[in-house]
Structure 1
Amino acid sequence: MAGTSLEKRKTTAVSGHTVSPADEPSADWGWHGTFRVGTPAAGIFVGLGMFAMLVGNHSGWTENLWLIGTGLALLAGVAWMLHKRRTSWRR
């Protein structure tokens, strides 16, 4: 929405560039980032939880295949994310 006053811009201390709150709404209240520890921890917890659900009262292999596939996909995604984060500045 257009206004008569100048737009408020924030300058980050680390990189020195200006961030427009219209482009990045979270910069207006001071936080802009990711959960560096929480995301992999949640992925590992849920991935291992999929394997824990293999112990149960189901009798078919369809459920087992879906649980194993989903658990492996989650753990592979966490491993890829950690590998990508570790090697991002080397290239």
Structure 2
Amino acid sequence: MVSTEVERYTDVDTGDVPSAAWGWSKVNPRTWHGVGIFVTLFLLAMLRGNHVGHVEDYVLIVFAVLVFAATVRDWWGRRRGWIR
């Protein structure tokens, strides 16, 4: 009987990408999640500065929220199996 299951190709061919032999072609989600959290905290840390106006504060907060939302969306999607 014919199966409807799709075989997924997960490996990178070292003929196409020579650096794949060293593992450089793999995406490590945990690293990117850590970077996302670090960037969020760094943007929020920049709120304390020598600027007088608060426009910069609003821009920093908006970017921090966007980075955090993208990080949480990616983490949640990978956890639920929506993103591979």
Report the TM-score when normalising by structure 1. 0.66
4+ runs deviating over 6 angstroms: 15-18
When you count helix as a share of all residues, which structure comes out higher? 2
Which structure shows the higher strand fraction? 1
Matches within 5 A, 1:1-91: 19=13, 21-22=15-16, 24-27=17-20, 29-31=21-23, 32-88=25-81
TM-score (norm 2): 0.70
Q: Any gaps of 5 or more consecutive residues in structure 1?
A: 1-14
Deviation at 1:36? 2.5
Cα distance 1:64–1:20, how it changes in 2: closer, same or farther (>3 A)?
Answer: same
- The residue number in structure 2 matching 1:6 is none
Structure 2 gaps of 5+ residues are 1-8
When Rg is computed on C-alpha atoms for both structures, the one with the higher figure is 1
Q: Which has the higher contact order (CA 8 A, sep 6+)?
A: 2
Identity score, percent: 30
Deviation, structure 1 residue 25: 4.3
